[in-house]
Amino acid sequence: MNSRILSPLALLFTACASMAAEPLQLPLRTRGKDDGPAREVVKAWDAAKSALIICDMWDAHTCPNSAARVGELAPRVDAVAKALRARGALIIHCPSDTMKFYEGTQLMVEHVEKYWCPSTTSAAILGGKPFHFIGETAR
User: Model's pTM, two decimal places?
Assistant: 0.50
Q: Which of 126, 104, 102 is nearest to 53 (CA)?
A: 102
DSSP 134: T
Mean pLDDT of 109-123: 55
Q: pLDDT tens for residues 44-84?
A: 888 888 888 888 776 666 778 877 888 888 899 999 999 88
42: left (phi over 0), alpha (psi -120 to 50) or beta: beta
Share of the chain above pLDDT 90, in %: 4
pLDDT at 28 over 50: yes
What is the SS3 assignment for 12-77?
A: HHHHHHHHHHCCEEEEEEECCCCCCCCEEEEEEECHHHCEEEECCCCCCCCCHHHHHHHHHHHHHH
List the beta bridge partners of residue 30: 39
Q: At what angle do helices 3-21 and 64-86 cross, to 10 degrees?
A: 110
